[in-house]
Structures are given as C-alpha cells and as structure tokens.
Amino acid sequence: MGRWAVSVACLGCLAWAMADQGRQLLELTLGPSDWWLLLAGALVSGVAVAVNGVAWAVLLRWLRCPLPTVQAVVVFARTNALKYIPGGIWHLAGRIQLLRSHGHGWGQAAMGVLLDPLLMAVAALLLLPLGGWQRGLGLLGPLAVLCLLPGWRGPLLKRLLRRIKLPQVVGEAASEIPPSPVLPGSFPGGPLLAEMTFVLVRYLGFALCASAFLPPGVLSGSLLAAFALAWTAGLVIPGAPAGLGVFELVLVLWLGDVVQDEAALLATALSYRVASTMGDALAAIGTWGLRLGG
C-alpha cells in the first residue's frame, strides 16, 4: 500500500499542475517534424531496451554465469514488459528463474538480476555532474560508486534482496542467500560502462521528445542531469510500476528553474512516458517468433 501511496501523491501533484496549466497545454501545437521527433523517441526507447539487454549480458559474464548475448537481449526485452505488473518485481523474478533453469546457483542468479538496476542507478548518477553543482547533487555520482566496491555491495545486495521479498516470489528462503561468495572481487567497470551506454541511449529517446516541446536554448547538460536524476528516482523510489508519477514529478520540479514554460515541460514529461512505454512494447513485440537457444 505504501508503494502506491508514493505514486498516488506524485500523480496528484501532476494532475494539479496539469489542471493549472490546462489552457496552455491545449494551446500547444505540434508540426509534422515534431510528430516525427516523438516517433523517433519511441523507437530509440525500444532500442534502449536492447542495449540494456546487452549490458545485462556483460554483467552476467562478469559474474561468471553467462548467457549468449542474443538470448540475454531477448529474455530481457520479454521480461521487461512484466515491470508494468503491480508489485514491480515480476521482471526480476522471471530473469532469476531463467538463470536457475540454466543451472546457475540461486546466489549467482539473484546477484545477476539485482546488480543490474544498481548499476543502472549508479551509471545515471555519474551523469549528474554534467549539469553542474546543482546544490550539491553533482556529488551523488561519485558517492554512488561506493556502492559497487567489494566491501559495500555484498551487504547492500543482501539487504535489498530481503527488502523486495524476491525469495518469496521464486520460492527460495532468504536465509539461503550467500551474496558474498558469488561476487567477483574486482570492480564491475565493464558492466558499469555498458549500463551507462544504456542510460545515454535512454536519454536520447527523452531528448528527442523534449525537442518537440522545449525551446532550443535549454542546455543539454542541464537536460541530461535532470533526466538522470528523475529516471533514477523513478527506478529506486518505491511506487507504481515503471516509476509512474515519480519520474514525471522529479523532472518537472528539477527543470522548473531552467524551463520557464511549465506547460511545455509537462508535455515533455507526459510525451516521454508514452514514448518509453511504446518503446518497451515494441522491444517485447520485436522478440516474438525468436526462439531461445539452450
């Protein structure tokens, strides 16, 4: 119930802002080129899912529980659609079950799935300094890297695993999870770079949508930093599936000092939500008919 309360509160704030800016939103007009930008944003968002699948394959190789890259991309795209199911963990459970079916131990499978969103969040936060000091938030990126150091990540992942109650979903006992022995001692530099590539492709989809509404004078560094912060908030703050409401509210609040046209900012946030959802659907549909190798 608490998860939904966060999103209901965020959506309520957005609804109030939309009501306040209702006339200005209706007065926004899009030309043919703007519609093409929105379509391109959806297509790039679909490509981002495939890039995320490749990054997951890189992570699994680092963990020594590899899957063929094509298979990892297909599985990632198919299970990605499950994040829209209430609970927000079914896509993770599906990937754990796949890794278990390939003979990998429970600990390796769980870490291979939980490290992925952690690396995504760290990769996104590392982009924050591109927007400047931002009242000290620019320091979040370097500080977030501490979560990936060997002495920190094992206890953090075990606590995360208990918190999201994945063991109850896939039928394992939390007491049986030994994250430390299954994690390599090296820093996950390769997987982190792969996840940063994914975040940048995801941002490109957002930037295309933003170009349809926002004035050209908005600094790309500020836009990238705001996207990184809002996207990370939607990923890590408990709420409705896929960060619905959280991403939009953080984006609008953070860019409010940079973009004076609040209606255009709201339209950007809402259009990207539609484009990213379409991209997720296109990525899942694109895997239909593809057979998974053993």
Each residue of 59-73: pLDDT tens digit? Answer: 999 999 999 999 999
Q: 181 falls in which pLDDT band (50, 70, 90)?
A: very low
Each residue of 273-293: pLDDT tens digit? Answer: 999 999 999 999 998 767 665
Each residue of 88-122: pLDDT tens digit? Answer: 778 888 898 888 888 888 878 888 998 999 999 99
- The reported pTM is 0.90
Each residue of 119-138: pLDDT tens digit? Answer: 999 999 999 998 887 778 88
Q: Residues near 139 by Cβ (< 8 Å), separated by ≥ 6? A: 129
pLDDT at 142: 87
How far CA 3 is from CA of 9, 87, 106, in Å, comes to 10, 9, 27
Residue 265 CA to residue 28 CA, distance in Å, equals 11
Each residue of 232-249: pLDDT tens digit? Answer: 999 988 766 778 888 999
Q: Do residues 114 and 92 make contact, with C-beta atoms less than 8 angstroms apart?
A: yes
